[in-house]
């Protein structure tokens, strides 16, 4: 099996071959002695050349992070056989930008009106969750093209609140 793995934005090529005692592993063309056991779901006990690592997996709808000890690595795995297409690239700095709710909550206040000119970092909407009011800010300087949030409405994580162009 061959995997293209991006770790913290850097590509690695990993070849894994099932052999008697475990897995034969080549990383970026170099053979590595690897022994792996899954003591439980989402936790991997990994031995690499005698060094021991407990690796934990943090999987969301869009992201995969691996914690090696207490260091967190953003990881993307492309298995040639995988059906999942790669996520689209990062949003462009130019053009319209959607402002989304970073967590579920309730919209308590709109801070600007449609059509307003805003600075990068200026608050657009206040969403309350867990007894805290959180200002959702504009990622760029521009004009508020649209406000889809309405005061008092419940929102889910990822819901579009406004668009700045």
Interacting residue ranges for another protein, rule: CB under 8 A: 1, 3, 5, 7-8, 10, 12, 14, 16, 22-23, 25, 27-28, 32, 34-48, 50-59, 64, 66-73, 75, 77, 79, 82-84, 102-105, 129-132, 134, 157
Residue that the structure tokens 């402002």 belong to: 99
Task: Point out which residues pair with 65 in neighbouring strands.
Answer: 58, 74
Residue 25 or 99: which CB sits closer to another protein?
25
Cα–Cα distance, 127 to 105 (Å, whole number): 6
Residue 56 exposed, middle or buried by CB count within 10 Å (0-12, 13-18, 19+): middle
CB of 11 to another protein, least distance (A): 9
CB of 116 to another protein, least distance (A): 22
Residue 42 or 114: which CB sits closer to another protein?
42
Residue 67 or 146: which CB sits closer to another protein?
67
In whole angstroms, how far apart are CA 85 and each of 10, 26, 74, 153? 19, 25, 18, 33
């Amino acid at each position: 099996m061959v995997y293209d793995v991006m770790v913290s934005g850097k590509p690695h090529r990993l070849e894994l071959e099932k052999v008697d005692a475990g897995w034969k592993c080549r990383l970026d063309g170099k053979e590595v002695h690897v022994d792996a056991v899954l003591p439980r779901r989402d936790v991997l006990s990994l031995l690499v050349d005698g060094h021991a690592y407990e690796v934990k997996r943090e999987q969301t709808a869009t992201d995969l992070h691996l914690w090696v000890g207490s260091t967190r690595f953003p990881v993307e795995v492309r298995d040639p056989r995988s059906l999942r297409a790669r996520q689209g690239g990062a949003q462009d700095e130019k053009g319209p930008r959607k402002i989304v709710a970073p967590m579920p909550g309730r919209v308590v206040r709109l801070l600007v009106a449609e059509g307003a000119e805003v600075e990068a970092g200026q608050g657009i909407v206040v969403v309350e969750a867990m007894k805290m009011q959180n200002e959702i800010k504009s990622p760029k300087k521009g004009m508020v093209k649209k406000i889809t949030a309405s005061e008092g409405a419940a929102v889910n994580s990822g819901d579009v609140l406004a668009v700045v162009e």
